[in-house]
Structure 1
Amino acid sequence: MFNTAFLRDTDKLSEFKIDLSNKFQAFHDPFNGEGTTMESNWEEMKETITSTYHEVLCHKKHHHKEWITVDALDKIQERRNKKAAINTKRIRAERAKAQAEYAEVNKQVMGSIRAVKRKNLKR
């Protein structure tokens, strides 16, 4: 299952369309090859679409609430990256700096989520 919620973001959608159209250029004339069957063409097309989904959208890790926006999901991903950076730091000063950056991003994420949730509840 892929995270199709990212397709609501116009940048991700255009990136997906461009990648998919570039990969389908090879299938412009699918029946010109020797020994190609409908089944083999289908398998190639299916593999192309699946690989494009993997590259652009990635797998869906959790079932997010419908009201969480793409921007909020991006901020959550940034927070995860900051948390991973904390765990990789070995020097105390670098770790403290990474912790401060994480705290700042965490405040932004929590504020963003609260604002989106309030906005959604008012509807």
Structure 2
Amino acid sequence: MESVRTRRGADIASDHHLVVANSKLKLKKNWTTGQTAIQRFNTAFLRDTALRDLLKEEESTMEDNWKGIKEALTSTCQEVLGRNNHHH
């Protein structure tokens, strides 16, 4: 504790006062055991030409991926929620 002071408040029928305190607190670093460490991928496999050719065969564009995600989402919403008929 560095300093402690009391502050008197407004005149009310109470004997409570505001206490203001300044304190310093030093915390120690909590080192983890490495379980939450960053996981790195083995990029050496990407340099292999056979694997690279295999990945090229399965190549798809970002647009194709988005269409697949959008189709799955809309079909699931339609099955679960149904269609909303607009009444104008």
**Which TM bucket (shorter chain)?**
0.3 to 0.5
Structure with bigger helix share is 1
Structure with bigger strand share is 2
Q: Tell me the TM-score normalised to structure 2 length.
A: 0.34
Q: Tell me the TM-score normalised to structure 1 length.
A: 0.26
The structure, 1 or 2, with the larger RCO (C-alpha pairs under 8 Å, 6+ apart) is: 1
